[in-house]
Structure 1
Amino acid sequence: MSQTSSTGPTPAVGTFTASMGDVLVSARGLQKSFGGRQILKNVDFDMSLGDITVIIGKSGSGKSTLLRALAGLTDPDAGYIYFDGKTVFDDEERTDDWYDVEAHVGMVFQTYTLWPHMDVLANLTLAPLKRLGYSKAEAKERAEQALEEVGMAHHLRSRPTQLSGGERQRVAIARALMMRPKLLLCDEITSALDPPVAAEVLEVLRRLKQEEGIAVALVTHDMAFASKAADRVVFFHDGEIAVNATPDEAFNHNDNPDLAKFLEAVRF
């Protein structure tokens, strides 16, 4: 489904200017510490519109902290974040421009975070109704479109407890799509799923990239997906980006010993 065929109100955000292949989000010199331990150490990171970036590394290496910083859920201690040419984090605080672009950023978590007492329709429409001023009819139409995009159109009235883990994860992705993001951040969204189900969820992301042109940043241990679907592979080690390369370079032509050890551990 193309972006030009969508209906319903447009989120009240700033003008979006990036084109496919253009740099959408950049981080420069990001630092973050928790409890005296430095998690991010002067991290520089770029993503282009229409790319899938797979972020790999050991637990605690900084992967999820980077995603949460880009999503506005964690403020770095220092550094800069730029989104579509706007400075959204400036060396210690969010800028006013963040509020112009935050609707372009969606995040999906491992734990789904769906309201169990609400059906799928209510889960998807809650935020657009409250934050974007959608009418009920407009929100329902957009929900139907988002569910169709993830292959869940027939579950509009289902409750999360009636769905499998893979189906709940697809609904969580559809909920993020309700805000029409240009950047979708996914944190270990397949780690609790069986491999065939995880493959189906990851295929949804690849299709969204191809059909919708959004940028996807995905923290995962699924090296098969990374090798086949990613445009870039970013390897975190001890709070720093140790490798930033194409999948072929990262997996087949890289001499970084820490990456080699990590790949051996996950049995790629």
Structure 2
Amino acid sequence: MAETNPTLDGTPENAPGLDGAFLRTQGVSKSFHGRPVLKEADFAIGSGEIAVLVGKSGSGKSTLLRVIAGLEEPDAGDIHLAGQAVVQGGEYQGAWKDLHGQIGMIFQSYTLWPHMNVLDNLTIAPRLTLGESRAQLLERAEKALTEVGMAQHLRSRCTQLSGGERQRVAIARALMMRPRLLLCDEITSALDPPVAAEVLGVLTKLKEEEGIACVIVTHDMAFASKAADRICFFEDGLIKEDVPPEHAFNDPQTPGLRAFIDAIRF
């Protein structure tokens, strides 16, 4: 992958190519209470790719994730998904209704229903939205749990599971909607390193075997270095660098990323 060189204003000069990208954002901006959090963010990701978003808290990375997921409406900018415009000029288009189901989101807190077993957690959303039969959903739930190494817990109560097991169930639940893009917000922050490594193994398997793209927000730079095909460094609402991990860690080009990397070395 070509190295990214920042322009004078800090915007990546050679941002990832938009041709053939499954998702791309152009000029996406978002403010809260008059404070800009995202400033014309350009970002793209292809199928079977993992992009990790890093930066200080409040730098805009989680906001971009939430805008892509449709949890926050952008103030401006365009979003293309699977080659179709789903947001133009900050406004949702008709294609959004048809395509947003291809995006799955996984949160740090798992957001599982504690009073339900694993099977019910996996099937409630597709049962309500897709209208599939119980037999179809049971087959898909078994397949999704097998993919994340949790097939033996189909009938387990979520309260009986460890943190790592709950995160795997959360990934399996996202897979039930047949996404082509997974958005992961700090999904390993509450996990011990060996468990985080197991979650990474699941995401890598989905990338390699299913061609699912992943965008991961994390403060865990050890996880980022192992997971990423690309590291996107956010600072002050801008993507200042978008480079392979070896470049981010060994040859950062902007002062902000150099300081960020230096801070985590000690």
TM-score, normalized by length of structure 1?
0.90
Is the contact between residue 221 and residue 266 of structure 1 (CA under 8 Å) also seen in structure 2? Answer: no
Q: Distance in 2 between matches of 1:265 and 1:164?
A: 31
Report the alpha carbon displacement of residue 186 of structure 1 after superposing the two structures with TM: 0.2
- What residue number does 2:51 align with? 53
Report the alpha carbon displacement of residue 225 of structure 1 after superposing the two structures with TM: 2.9
Is the contact between residue 122 and residue 173 of structure 2 (CA under 8 Å) also seen in structure 1? Answer: yes
Q: Where does 1:18-29 land on structure 2 (aligned, <5 Å)? A: 22-29=20-27
Is the contact between residue 28 and residue 90 of structure 2 (CA under 8 Å) also seen in structure 1? Answer: no
- What residue number does 1:214 align with? 212
- What residue number does 2:111 align with? 113
- What residue number does 1:232 align with? 230
Residue range with higher mean Cα deviation, 82-91 or 224-233: 224-233
Report the alpha carbon displacement of residue 224 of structure 1 after superposing the two structures with TM: 2.4
Report the alpha carbon displacement of residue 251 of structure 1 after superposing the two structures with TM: 1.2
Q: Distance in 1 between matches of 2:162 and 2:261?
A: 30
- What residue number does 1:175 align with? 173
Q: CA RMSD in A?
A: 1.2
Structure 1 stretches of 5 or more lacking a match? Answer: 1-20
Q: Distance in 1 between matches of 2:231 and 2:222?
A: 12
Identity %: 62
Structure 2 stretches of 5 or more lacking a match? Answer: 1-18
Question: Equivalent residue of 1:23, what SS?
Answer: coil
Deviations 1:172-228 (A, max 9, x none): 000000011000000000001111111111111111101111100001122223223
Q: Distance in 2 between matches of 1:153 and 1:264?
A: 42
Is the contact between residue 78 and residue 91 of structure 1 (CA under 8 Å) also seen in structure 2? Answer: yes
Corresponding letter in the other structure for 1:238: D
- What residue number does 1:200 align with? 198
Give 2:93's match in structure 1, choosing from 86, 92, 95.
95
Give 1:74's match in structure 2, choosing from 72, 87, 90.
72
Question: Equivalent residue of 1:221, what SS?
Answer: coil
Is the contact between residue 110 and residue 166 of structure 2 (CA under 8 Å) also seen in structure 1? Answer: yes
Q: Distance in 1 between matches of 2:110 and 2:74?
A: 25
